[in-house]
Chain A
């Protein structure tokens, strides 16, 4: 595959990115519906989807706002959910760092879980490919879900204006969060972090301004990292 051109790399990425339309579309629609039901107007729904372009963080912000949390706490919780992207950035950055600035800015904007997973496995398989080919693959891989994320949010927002209240939609964010987290519970360390998070968030729920959640999250991260470190040590 050393003969791949940026164009062929782009289409190879595009084909790899197509399945993510299936994942992006229901989430985008649900976000559009729930944000509209919560009182966002169409410009705000689309504004958030276009400016933030990160499903889990958008649902987090929405859940916190429906709880009337202070703006700073809304931001802290949503940005905390996105901190995992620093890890993606650190792992994918070295492959793309020699690309022009504007290309890296675009690549950063569309860095999401799925793009990361596909692109990093491609880059690790063919680490010596030239940077333009790598960048073309990456952008191609991101485009299908990217377009459908905008479109599905828009359709959801239009639906949201038509759906009557009382469809138990209040519980949709809870199911979304559980559906996102459950497949991540792959190791004992992840399970330990999740349990710590639940236990402390409930125990500290009396604290004002949702600050209990942040304390719970920091402790849970430490627990996860420490369990991983100890398991790795024990395995040696």
Chain B
């Protein structure tokens, strides 16, 4: 990280205020507004639109290996996704991915 203390605090506060405004928006913050169907449809896809794109480079080009793809991390990612899709359970996916990562790191020395 290469941020000044002021930048870190500014990030925290702006992120907090912005998040609060998003949450408060339709609880009366901006009055009684009904979102049109197309807007609701777009909002439904924000997490699946942002998080996969965020995570893909972390898996393929991990900073810890200097950006070289590495088998332990890729297998851990695949296991986390498979368990998450199958069991629809966030914690199960998290622990399975973590277990796979340590297993593979141990096996590949």
Main secondary structure of the interface of B (DSSP, over half): helix
CB distance from B33 to the nearest CB of A (A): 8
Contacts of B49 in A (CB 8 A): 80, 193-194, 196-197, 216-221, 224
A145 adjacent to chain B (CB < 8 Å): no
Contact A52 B12 (CB under 8 A): yes
Residue interface mask A137-162, B partner, CB < 8 A = 1 = 00000000000000000000000000
Known interface pairs A38-B1, A57-B15, A79-B22; A173-B50 also in contact (CB < 8 Å):
no
A42 within 8 A of B: no
A171 touches B44 (CB 8 A): no
CA distance A75 to B83 in the complex (A): 30
Q: Judge whether A51 and B12 touch: CB under 8 Å.
A: yes
Q: Is the CB of B48 within 8 A of A213?
A: no
**Also in contact, A180 and B51, with CB within 8 A (given A23-B90, A189-B45, A201-B56):** yes
CA–CA, A138 to B10, complex, Å? 31
B window 7-59: CB within 8 A of A: 7-16, 18-20, 22-29, 32, 34-35, 38, 40-59
Within 8 A of B (CB), among A192-216: 193-198, 200-202, 205, 213, 216
User: Interface residues of B, CB < 8 Å — how many?
Assistant: 74
Is there a chain B Cβ closer than 8 Å to A60's Cβ? yes
Is A213's CB under 8 angstroms from B62's CB? no
In the complex, what's the smallest C-beta–C-beta distance from B91 to chain A, in angstroms? Answer: 6
In the assembled complex, the CB of B11 is this many whole angstroms from the nearest CB of chain A, namely 6
Total A-B residue contacts, Cβ distance less than 8 Å: 281
> Quick one: closest B residue to A185, CB to CB?
B85
User: Are A86 and B51 in contact, CB atoms less than 8 angstroms apart?
Assistant: no
A40 to B3, CA, bound (A): 10
A-side contacts of B25, CB under 8 Å? 86, 89-90
Instruction: Categorize the interface residue count of chain A.
Output: 35 or more
Q: Which residue of B lies closest to A84 (CB)?
A: B46
A117 at the interface (CB under 8 A from B): no
A90 vs B82: C-alpha distance when bound (angstroms): 32
Could you tell me the distance in whole angstroms from the C-beta of B81 to the nearest C-beta in chain A?
5
- When distances are taken between beta carbons in the complex, the residues of chain B under 8 Å from A65 are 1, 3, 8, 11
Q: Which of B14, B51, B84, B94 contacts A26 (CB 8 A)?
A: B94
Chain B's closest residue to A58 (CB) is: B15
Select one of A38, A84, A96, A179 contacting B90, CB under 8 A: A179
A-B contact pairs, 23 of them (CB 8 A): A44-B8, A44-B12, A51-B13, A54-B19, A63-B54, A68-B2, A71-B3, A71-B11, A77-B50, A83-B43, A85-B23, A104-B28, A171-B101, A175-B98, A178-B80, A180-B90, A181-B52, A182-B82, A183-B85, A185-B48, A193-B45, A197-B51, A224-B44
5 shortest interchain CB distances as A-B pairs = A182-B84, A201-B53, A51-B16, A224-B45, A220-B49
